[in-house]
Chain A
Amino acid sequence: MSGAAAFWRKYGVLFKSDWAIMMAYRSETLIWMVGAFVQPLVSLAVWVSLSGEGSIAGYTASDYVLYFTAVLVVDRLTRAWDVYELDRDIREGTFSAKLLRPFHPIHWSINGNIVYKTFFAMLMIPSWLLLAMFFPAMRIPVDMGTIGLVILAIALSSAIRFVIGYQFGLLAFWSNRATAMYALYEGIHMFLSGRIAPLSMFPDWVADAARVLPFYFTVAFPVDLLTGRLADEPETVWIGFAGQAGWLLLLALSLRFIWRNGLKRYGAAGG
């Protein structure tokens, strides 16, 4: 068996087992998924009622419906939760079992993300298409080529958010406050990624900072692509992908650094 084939077979078998576990807990998974809808829906309600008949920051009520539907889907498909599991595994020593196997522990986490995100996509995308039949505001004003770019942007964002979350989780090698630090990061992310309102609502310097840091690239960029906001700005699209790729590369390098140094500090707690 060639190296690559063996590698993909490992992913294959992990996918099957994670899928089986998720199905064993399908109602929890659903509640978890729906729970994440609350914040974008509340934001949506607020902005729709504030905008009334006019528009705020270039968005009408109908634009807000489309914007937050896109936020809800993009956020759900790109958000990583590995920090909690990793933090617990490292502090309680259950990380050892993964570390002893000849397959890097990060693959277990990547696989988990693929499994849950596949499941979410299978539920959310058909639901969106169905709702769009009844609510014109939810119809996506872009062509298939752009949809392809959106899928790429979501995949890159998912990778960026995963690598960030995984590094926060690895902080558990040094500190028992990894999840608290991550919560702080997530709080900033909520504002600067466009989850709570479009970035055009913020002062210019805040929006500019969000576009330099990884925040804009994780949610607002795929959302802008999907809602047709970038239809006449091919340059912004390329800058967006370049920003995603650049941040992913940088974060992958720092992940490598944190991993190597963290491992030396691992205490493998518990007998």
Chain B
Amino acid sequence: MIHVEGLTKIYRVHVRQPGFVASLRSLFHREYREVAAVDGINFDIPEGQIVGFLGPNGAGKTTTMKLLTGLLHPTSGRIEVGGFVPFRQQNAFKKRVSLVMGQKSQLIWDIPASETFLIHKEIYEIPAASFKERIDYFTEMLDLSLIIDKPVRQLSLGERMKCELVAALLHRPDIVFLDEPTIGLDVNMQEALRRFIQSYNRDYKATILLTSHYMADVSALCERVLVINDGKLIYDGAISKLIDRFSPMKRITLVLGAKIDTSVVEAAVRNGGGRVVAYDYPQLEVEGPREEVTGLSAKLLTELPVIDLTIEDPSLESVIGLAYSEGAAGESRR
């Protein structure tokens, strides 16, 4: 469904020096630097797959998404999406794809989202009966009935994001690019959107490429991930292997109810197979191997006066950082 070969995008960036004198000088002599935002990447995504697209900020994720949707012209390489060359901007192509950017809105700000939906109905030439059926489907799935007729500027971020998804999926694209769809949303809202994305994929066999900084999004939705860093693809494979390999530790954060001696705390943690990262009463941070974390927490709960305990995966950023710093490039690339 998506085929990418040797894809490269080079930006020519005007180098600006700070300061007034430098700005005057740049009037006469401009310096340019070439930056490869995407640097020779290859991958294929079959129909109906949800793939997570990961990488630190500025790694080239969004640029790749923009190349795949035809917003940008590639400097070199081949892209085929659903049998189309995206940058030719054919309407038949645009009717099959969609791009949702968490930080950019395609809803019209001053009028209710339902009006944007009506515009999409005409622009995508959706028959009236299907339009109604789809709006009903979305309204039920996303609980929209109370927000659809409010001006978009009065919606909360989460409500707006739901409407963004509807606007993007109303024409029922079979290829969907989601760029940070859950950014800035609370946990419940993230969960709701995740469930929705999952059922859209299941109901319509949609091929989905998703970027997110939230580990939970990626692990709930994607079996396969692509990791990109500095414009290069450094990992393409199962998510379970990525986490196991690059982040064997989990972090436990505890709040203690009474002040306990450091040595006692350290002994308890050591007994459970963990390590104290920081102890500053009442907060205690412990790190332990993924497979022993349940036993370790149980031990800490019995041996220490614990008020609160949370177990977290390391942030996706840090997993990717680890993947990159451990030189995963060579061994993981297919």
Residues of A within 8 A of B (CB): 1, 6, 9-10, 12-14, 16-17, 20-21, 24-25, 93-94, 96-97, 99-103, 263-264, 266-268, 270-271
A17 to B124, CA, bound (A): 16
**Cβ–Cβ < 8 Å partners of A268 in chain B:** 66, 71-72
Which chain B residue lies CB-closest to A1? B125
Residue of B nearest to A103 (CB): B123
Main secondary structure of the interface of A (DSSP, over half): helix
Residues on the B chain within 8 Å of A97, using CB = 104-106
Seed contacts A101-B123, A102-B92, A263-B73; 17 additional CB < 8 Å A-B pairs: A10-B122, A12-B122, A13-B122, A16-B115, A17-B108, A20-B110, A21-B111, A100-B70, A100-B94, A100-B99, A100-B106, A101-B124, A102-B91, A102-B94, A103-B123, A263-B89, A264-B73
A271 in contact with B115 (CB, 8 Å)? no
Check B69 against A100 for contact (C-beta < 8 Å).
Answer: yes
A25 cross-chain contacts in B, Cβ below 8 A: 110
Residues of A within 8 A of B69 (CB): 100
A23 CB to closest chain B CB, in angstroms?
Answer: 10
Known: A10-B122, A12-B122, A24-B110. A99 touches B71 (CB 8 A): yes
Asked whether B11 lies within 8 Å of A271 as measured between CB atoms, the reply is no
Q: Are the C-beta atoms of A13 and B105 separated by less than 8 Å?
A: no
B236 within 8 Å of A (CB atoms): no
B62 interface hit (Cβ, 8 Å): yes
Listed by A's residue number, 23 A-B pairs whose Cβ atoms lie within 8 Å are: A6-B122, A6-B125, A13-B121, A13-B123, A16-B115, A17-B108, A17-B115, A17-B118, A21-B108, A93-B104, A96-B71, A96-B104, A97-B105, A99-B71, A99-B89, A100-B94, A100-B97, A100-B99, A102-B91, A263-B73, A263-B89, A267-B11, A271-B62
- Identity of the chain A residue whose Cβ is nearest the Cβ of B183 in the assembled complex: A271
Contact A17 B119 (CB under 8 A): yes
Q: How far is the CA of A16 from the CA of B73 in the complex (A)?
A: 34
Is B174 positioned at the interface, with any CB of A under 8 Å from its CB? no
Most buried by A among B92, B123, B179: B123
Contact at A9–B122, with CB atoms within 8 Å? yes
A13 adjacent to B71 (CB under 8 Å): no
Tell me if A266 and B72 are in contact (CB < 8 A).
yes
Name the distance in Å between A109's Cβ and chain B's nearest Cβ. Answer: 14
Given contacts A21-B111, A25-B110, A97-B104, contact A102 B180 (CB under 8 A): no
A13 contacts B119, CB within 8 Å?
Answer: yes
Which single residue of chain B is at the shortest CB-CB distance from A6? B125
Give the chain A neighbours of B115 by CB distance below 8 A: 16-17, 20
A9 vs B105: C-alpha distance when bound (angstroms): 24
B299 sits at the interface (CB 8 A):
no
> What residue in chain B is nearest A97 (Cβ atoms)?
B106
- Cβ-defined contact, B179 with A271, below 8 A: yes
**Given contacts A102-B123, A271-B179, is CB(A20)–CB(B111) below 8 Å?**
yes
Instruction: Report yes or no: A102 in contact with B124, Cβ–Cβ below 8 A.
Output: yes
- B324 CB → nearest A CB, Å: 20
Q: Is B95 an interface residue (CB 8 A)?
A: yes
B101: interface (CB < 8 Å): yes
* Chain B residues positioned under 8 Å from A14 (CB to CB): 119
Q: Does B23 contact A (CB under 8 A)?
A: no
In whole angstroms, how far apart are the Cα atoms of A104 and B54 in the complex?
32
Leading 10 A-B pairs by shortest Cβ distance: A97-B106, A102-B91, A102-B94, A268-B71, A13-B122, A103-B123, A271-B62, A264-B73, A268-B66, A10-B122
B271 at the interface (CB under 8 A from A): no
- Tell whether, in the assembled complex, residue A96 and residue B66 are in contact, meaning their CB atoms are under 8 Å apart: yes
Bound state CA distance, A152 and B256, in angstroms?
82
